[in-house]
Structures are given as structure tokens and as C-alpha cells.
Amino acid sequence: MNYRAFITGVAGLELKDDERAFIQASPPWGFILFKRNIETPEQVARLVAALKECVGRGDAPVLIDQEGGRVQRLGPPHWPVYPPGARFGALYDMDPAIGLRTARLCARLIAADLAELGINVDCLPLADVPVAGADAVIGDRAYGTEPAKVAAIARAVSEGLAEGGILPVLKHIPGHGRATADSHFGLPTVDTPQNELEKTDFAAFRPLADLPMAMTAHVVFSALDPVHPATTSATIISRVIRGGIGFQGLLMSDDVSMNALSGSIAERTKAIFAAGCDIVLHCNGNLDEMREVAAETPELAGIAFRRAEQALASRGKVQPLDRGAARAELAALVNRAGT
């Protein structure tokens, strides 16, 4: 089967007949789940299996945003509440080894939760570096305000996911921390000079350039491209993401339906590919929009195909885990940073 270079959501708790027909006619490379798709472990596992069966691929990527804190699609009563990224940063400030251990352990437990459901990709870690006055959309999701610290914790998180057989997605490259607007609702513009961006925002991503997948930021960096957000900027993708940062893995857009982007869904999709992204992400489950994306999306081929295959091949062997002992250790570590 030839897959198209997009990732799609679906509308509800089970796959509908018209969604199934669409997916079979225009098979995406992968899928993404949201809270609207989640009820019980058994239901989620059935949905994930149905999505993979629909494209005839047991290793089809199924993504989720399971960070902990405010961004956690799986939650009570069936799944634990995990701490936000800022908690790891607070522990790191007390003792770097403890901060890194906590981040890695938390990610390993998240990986175990996801693997049980057949989910194999987590949109984590974040390497965004927030600044005072920025929009709260990142806020306590971030690991800190020092690039080296952020990169170290992000590395620990990615290693914890990998130990559980889950692919990490680095976000939001080349940085969402300075944005003064939530890109779900509007287009943020960052006017910081390039030399400052290189020392802060971009610096946090550089040590993570070897990760297999990354998600772009819907943010305008006026010093580099005053018109286009990073997602649709050939300049930023080539000069910053691929060049300065050195990321050579699979580059996917943030959600094409977010209000930070302008034009029709079809126009946005074309712009994303023209800028140099490998994969377009569409999240909201609107079937009409999904068809627009598919119509403008090429088959996954060439260097994008190779990057996708390399990402899937990078999933390591699952390491043993005593989940009870790990949860007890995590609780004890997290409590050191206060509530």
C-alpha cells in the first residue's frame, strides 16, 4: 500500500464507515488521538487496532499528546495523572540527577500506558524555552528557562519513552516559548534578534537534533522571515531547523487546522509541503477537511519516506519495568519539589 504524507485524527470513539472508506482510499502515514477518542482502555485499544487494520499495517504510527500536567489525553479514572514538565525543572534545580531521573521515569511510565493500547508515538518532549510575558500556552509544560537544562531534561524524557518502545516527537521546533499568542487561536510573532534566538530558543533544540521526529512551531520569527510562520517558511526550515539546529529526522507540521495558519485547508497543506515539511498533521477529525488535506498531499516518497522509515526503525526493544515500584519511586521523587 502507498501511504500519503499526512497524519489524521478521527471524530469519535470508534471508526465510522465513511472514515474507514476515506482512510482506505487515501491511506495516511499515521493517526493521532485526542480526548474525544478516549473512554476506556478496552475502547481505545479497539480503536487503535481498527486504525492499523484499515491501512493494513501493524506498525502504523498512532500518536497522542501525553505530556502530563495540562496536556494529557489519557487521564483518570483509567490512567494516572502525571506531573507537568516544570516539576522536573524544579527538581533539576535542587539536584540535576534527581530531576533527570524523575523525567526519565515519568516518561517510562507514560510509555507503558501507551504501549498497552497499541499507541506507539508520543508528541513529547518539549524543548520550548519560555520567557516572561509570553502566552501561557507553554507555561508549566516547559522544563525551564535555560537552554542546556531544557535540552538535558528533554533528552531524559525521550530516553524514557524509548525504553518503553515509544517514539518521541520533539516540539515545537525551532521554539514556541517566546510566543505572545496561542497558535491554536492566532498567529504569534516573535521579534527577537536572530543572535539572541540562536543563544536561547534554538540552542535548546540543537543537542536534540538526532531525535527521530519533530513538530514545527506555528510562530513567525521576524528576524528570519517576517511573513511566514516556521511551519510554512522555507527559510526557517532550511536555514534554522535543517541547517543551524541540524535536525535531519522526520519533520511534521503542527496541526494544519490551527488558526495561526491562513488560507483554506488545501492552501495551508500545499504551503507546508512547499516549505519543506515531510508530513502534514490534521487533528480535528472533520472529514471534509481531511479530504482537503489528502487531495493536496503527495505519496510518502523520496527523502521523506526514508526519514519516516528510519524513525520507525529507531524504536528500540522494550526494557523491563516493575510498574508498581516505578510509580512509587516517581511519587516520592515528585513530592520533593512540593505540590
Which helix (H) or strand (E) is 170 found in, with range?
strand 170-173
CA 250 to chain centre: 12
Work out the burial of residue 136: count CB atoms within 10 Å of its CB; fewer than 13 is exposed, 13-18 middle, 19 or more buried: exposed
Q: 3-state SS of 242-260?
A: HHHCCCCCEEEEEECCCCC
Beta-strand relationship, 167-168 and 121-122: parallel
Which amino acid belongs to residue 162?
A
Closest CA to 253 of 128, 169, 195, 136: 169
What is the per-residue burial (b if ≥16 Cβ within 10 Å, else e) of 171-204? bbbbbbbbbebbbeeebbebeeeeeebeebbbbb
β-bridge mates for residue 213, sequence order: 250
Alpha carbon distance 13, 297 (integer Å) = 26
β-bridge mates for residue 252, sequence order: 215, 279
β-bridge mates for residue 215, sequence order: 171, 252
Active site residues: 184, 254
Measured at the alpha carbon of residue 78, what is the angle toward residues 76 and 83, in degrees to the nearest 5? 45
Residue 100 half-sphere exposure toward CB, CA atoms < 13 A: 11
Which amino acid belongs to residue 198?
E
Residues in the chain: 339
